[in-house]
Amino acid sequence: MAAIRSKSSADPTDKPVNSRLRKSIYLLPNLLTASNMVLGILSMIYSINDSLTLSLAAETKMTPFVWPAKLILIAIVLDFMDGRVARATGTTSKFGMEFDSLSDLVSFGMAPALLIYLSTLRYMNVWNIPAPVIGISITVLSVLCAAIRLARFNVQAQAEEKAHFVGLPSPAAAGMLASYVLFSRWGGWYGKGIFLNKVMGWYEENISLVEFWIIPTMTVTIAVVMVSTITYPSMKKWKWETVKPWTFAVIVLAFFWIVYAAEFTSFVLLSAYLLWGIIQALTKKSFEKMRPKKTAA
């Protein structure tokens, strides 16, 4: 009886503690999602501030548009963490999914589009079209495609396989645009070796070609691939136990290059991720065309 009484007397104090702990567990992934959105908003604010104070950059010795790009990359890390935390703690919910999509639209749709427009696209002036028109059109297309991509993901969340994404994920799209801004304004490549010196030397010699043709084309391609049916690998079910030796070697090599030259490596890795899906889709389509069609008996 004493044991029964002690157990019943402990129940009133245990329930509030368990309830508070459960609420804290549910709150954690949402706090990460909210932090993701805050970083996206701050990135847009800093992008606007940097565009207004370009003439002061030499005086303040601050390279413009670097911090807005860094904030987007940090937001990508938080976006990866909130999903992992929600799945690990079993706190996934419809509210969390909707909140995450709204946050992603800000951080990976609006913020990178505004960043790439203010840093690069607004200076486009081709085919006698006024400079802002083409840049604004590409920017609007980028945001619209990001919104469609996120809305489609929510609708198909139950049906989609967790081993892959349909369309380029919005964090990867945003990361590629942000990493280009960091790469283009990276002054630490001096003395990093012959390879990087040649790459950056070619970039500085052909910056007009890159800024006026390659980057707008890249931005449009990213936007279109986001709403395409091209599949991309997902890391949702990725576990260390299943990593093969050659995969581990590639990860170690990539980690080394990120430490050695993060600005350059992040852009190269995300570009490779973009091209991986496109090349795989084109190769698959080519093989399907080459395969002989079955004739009806």
The pLDDT of residue 225: 96
Burial class (CB in 10 A: 0-12, 13-18, 19+), 146: buried
Structural domains in the chain (count): 1
Does any domain span residue 296? no
Does any domain span residue 291? no
Burial 266-276 (b: 16+ CB within 10 A, else e): bbbbbeebbee
Give the domain extent around 159.
Answer: 14-280
Does any domain span residue 293? no
Does any domain span residue 287? no
Q: Binning pLDDT at 50, 70 and 90, where does residue 78 land?
A: very high
Does any domain span residue 153? yes
Q: Which residue has the tokens 């297309």?
A: 141
Phi and psi at residue 122, in whole multiples of 5°? -70, -10
- What is the DSSP track for 152-211? HHHHTTTTS-TTEEES--HHHHHHHHHHHHHHHT--TTTTS-HHHHHHHHHHHHTHHHII
For the segment 76-95, the average pLDDT, to the nearest whole number, is 82
Other residues' Cβ atoms within 10 Å of the Cβ of residue 91: 16
Does any domain span residue 271? yes
Extract the runs of DSSP E, i.e. beta strands, from the chain. Answer: 164-166, 231-233
For the segment 242-246, the average pLDDT, to the nearest whole number, is 66
Decide if pLDDT at 190 tops 60: yes
Decide if pLDDT at 113 tops 50: yes
Q: Binning pLDDT at 50, 70 and 90, where does residue 297 land?
A: very low
Looking at the chain, the whole-number percentage of residues with pLDDT higher than 70 is 77
Q: Binning pLDDT at 50, 70 and 90, where does residue 5 land?
A: very low
Element (DSSP H or E) covering residue 150: helix 131-155
Mapping DSSP to helix (H, G, I), strand (E, B) and coil, where does residue 243 land? coil
CA dihedral 217, 137, 116, 178 (to 10 degrees): -70
The whole-model pTM stands at: 0.83
Does any domain span residue 104? yes
The pLDDT of residue 162: 61
Decide if pLDDT at 136 tops 80: yes
For the segment 215-231, the average pLDDT, to the nearest whole number, is 94
Decide if pLDDT at 132 tops 90: no
For 40-67, the pLDDT digits (tens) are 999 999 999 988 887 555 555 668 899 9
The pLDDT of residue 1: 45
Q: What is the mean pLDDT of the chain?
A: 81
